[in-house]
Amino acid sequence: MKKILVATVKPFHPDAVEGIREICSKAGYDFNLLEKYNDKSELLEAVADAHALIVRSDKVTSEVIEAGKNLEIIVRGGAGYDNVDLKTASDKGIVVMNTPGQNSNAVAELALGMMVFFARNQFNGKAGTELRGKTLGVHAFGNVGQLVAEIAHGFNMDIYAYDPFEKDEVIRKKGVTPVKSAEELYEKCQYVSLHIPANGDTRESINYALLSRMPANATLVNTARKEVIDEEGLKKVMSKREDFNYISDIAPDCKDEMAEKYPGRFFFTPKKMGAQTSEANINAGLAAISQIKNYFENGDKTYQVN
């Protein structure tokens, strides 16, 4: 009997967990749940006899993969798989997948929600500003970026996008103006919303040179990854420009310093909550177990990322 382990420090919504349990029971799989674990030793123990592992942002290091002696497949219920050691998984012949698009709407709604919250001075009663007519730069036009643009149209924002991996015509079809470089995007846009993955090319790529190009009353919105930000560059632009704001769904390492020095210009969620909706969890959780079932039963590797 195949053993499926769902290991999530930040649990899926209970309905998502129930859905996964149900699919496992119908398929004849043994369902195991490890939630809110505090120590990696708990994960190492739980994964020991699992054939399939479903995680969120949980760190699937080489140690975890080595401990999973029976592992055949790891599915990251979500988009970014920078938390999984792909090399070790590949060396051991383990398939790694993500569930692209399944939680994108939740992240996109949060990005716009944070923009409104911030433009209205965190709802403190003081007069704020509106999003209507402001320029918005969507940095990477994947699943989340496209939905951000779709929602931003409702606010009547003037939307631009930069994505070297997407055709201009695809961007134009969504009523968005494509630009040729990140520099051009940052120069044009008062709001920039980040949707790039964290990898060797993007790590610390959002730096002072780029951020300082943004026009007056600039706001950088990060619902992607903290690793893509060059924090020294961010701190430099925050200190040089009183009109520069940073709002993030991922606390930067320098959060205490930023909160102390720039109150009212910096906001971060206490816990990454872009994908924290029942809908996103149900979509991603059920997609994860369905992909596992399809792999076990049909060898389907459609969403393999390694």
Residue nearest to ligand 3PG as judged by C-beta position? 78
CB of 270 to ligand 3PG, least distance (A): 13
CB of 102 to ligand 3PG, least distance (A): 8
Nearest alpha-carbon partner for 144 in 184, 186, 179, 110? 110
**How many angstroms separate the CA atoms of 193 and 201, rounded?**
18
- Select 79 or 89, whichever has its Cβ closest to ligand 3PG: 79
CB of 1 to ligand 3PG, least distance (A): 28
- Select 6 or 79, whichever has its Cβ closest to ligand 3PG: 79
CA atoms within 13 A on the CB side of 35: 8
Four-point Cα dihedral 287, 293, 297, 302, nearest 10 = 30
- Select 56 or 188, whichever has its Cβ closest to ligand 3PG: 56
Q: Which residues pair with 5 in a beta bridge?
A: 32, 53
**How many angstroms separate the CA atoms of 208 and 238, rounded?**
10
- Select 233 or 274, whichever has its Cβ closest to ligand 3PG: 274
CB of 135 to ligand 3PG, least distance (A): 25
- Select 151 or 273, whichever has its Cβ closest to ligand 3PG: 273
* Binding site residues, ligand 3PG, CB under 6 A: 10, 56-57, 78-80, 103, 272, 274-275
Inter-axis angle of helices 143-154 and 104-119, to 10 degrees?
A: 40
**How many angstroms separate the CA atoms of 99 and 285, rounded?**
9
CB of 130 to ligand 3PG, least distance (A): 28
